[in-house]
Amino acid sequence: MKTNRIAALVGLALILSSTPAVLADDTTEIGYVDQAALSALPQFTAARAQLDSYGANLQKQYIARARNASQAEQQKLSAEFQQQIADKQRQVLGPIFSRAQIAIASVASSKNLSIVVDKQIIIVGGTDITQAVKDLLTGVGDPVPPVNTPPPSTVGYVDQTQIDAIPAIKAAATDFQKFKADQDQQAAAKFRSAKTQADRDAIMTAYQKALTDKQNQTLKPLVDKTEAAMASVAQKRGLTLVVDRGNVIYGGTDITADVTSALK
């Protein structure tokens, strides 16, 4: 778990509840793409090299201009250069990503797939369309968008960023982060005065217990409530699987609005 945010806990609960469906035999509507393999294609590697060079030049400019600048001016310069990098990324990668999306949609449509996800979340089953997508991206001419929209899917997804923005969840996450920061300071102070390994082990045990207790008090009830809301919406919509929006490349059934409504 990368962080102790509510998003990580909710995401974990979502993954655990979804795993059995991933292994089911009735998910033939699911396709998957190895995005790492796509990123190794020449157009992607060339784009990354171009962005790396652009970023290196911007960094040199920032260092030169920020050397004698005030802190406020440095912050302004940093924001300016970050915006320039973001604009360059959209300029360089935007058309390539758009072309890849069209290729994925075209292959998915030809195979009657209702959703395409990242390979990383597939354990067993699904239809691998990576090679077909690569063939379109490396072939002559541009991929042609499918005529039809994706068929109705029994695989749903939620946008975790919108779940995070719900006031009660956001407040709980902020409360936990403040608590953790305080516990970090206390544990660090105790470590500095600890004389034995046994003392340090005891400090770490107490620290971990404090965080776990706080999670159970402030975050777990929301995790349980969120998981129950997802399960209820999925059942009403006839879904066999719910995943995070970040893993969906094409298609799927968006239940974010239904889940956030149930949680407010």
Domain identity same for 90 and 184: no
Query: Which CATH number is 52's domain given?
Result: 3.30.910.20
For residue 125, what pLDDT is reported? 87
For residue 4, what pLDDT is reported? 37
* 19 domain-assigned: no
Task: Concatenate the DSSP letters of all residues of the chain into one string.
Answer: ----SHHHHHHHHHHHHHHHHHT-TT-TTEEEE-HHHHHTSHHHHHHHHHHHHHHHHHHHHHHHHHTT--HHHHHHHHHHHHHHHHHHHHHHHHHHHHHHHHHHHHHHHHTT-SEEEEGGG-SS-SEE-HHHHHHHHHSSSPPPPPSSPPPP-SEEEE-HHHHHTSHHHHHHHHHHHHHHHHHHHHHHHHHHH--SHHHHHHHHHHHHHHHHHHIIIIIHHHHHHHHHHHHHHHHHHT-SEEEEGGGEEEE-EE-HHHHHHHH-
Domain identity same for 105 and 195: no
* 8 domain-assigned: no
Which of residues 149, 165, 199 is at a domain's end? Answer: 149
Domain identity same for 205 and 108: no
Which of residues 94, 127, 149 is at a domain's end? Answer: 149
Total domains in the chain come to 2
For residue 141, what pLDDT is reported? 85
For residue 1, what pLDDT is reported? 36
Tokens at 45, concatenated:
């590697």
> What residues of the chain score a pLDDT lower than 70?
1-27
* 264 domain-assigned: yes
Domain identity same for 230 and 157: yes
Q: Which domain holds residue 238?
A: 152-264
Q: Is 133 in contact with 103 (CB distance < 8 Å)?
A: yes
For residue 109, what pLDDT is reported? 93
Which of residues 119, 149, 179 is at a domain's end? Answer: 149
* 6 domain-assigned: no
> Rounded CA gap, 156 and 254, in Å?
6
Parallel, antiparallel, or unpaired for β 115-118 and 248-251? antiparallel
Domain identity same for 235 and 134: no
Domain identity same for 179 and 218: yes
| pTM score | 0.75
Domain identity same for 145 and 35: yes
Domain identity same for 41 and 109: yes
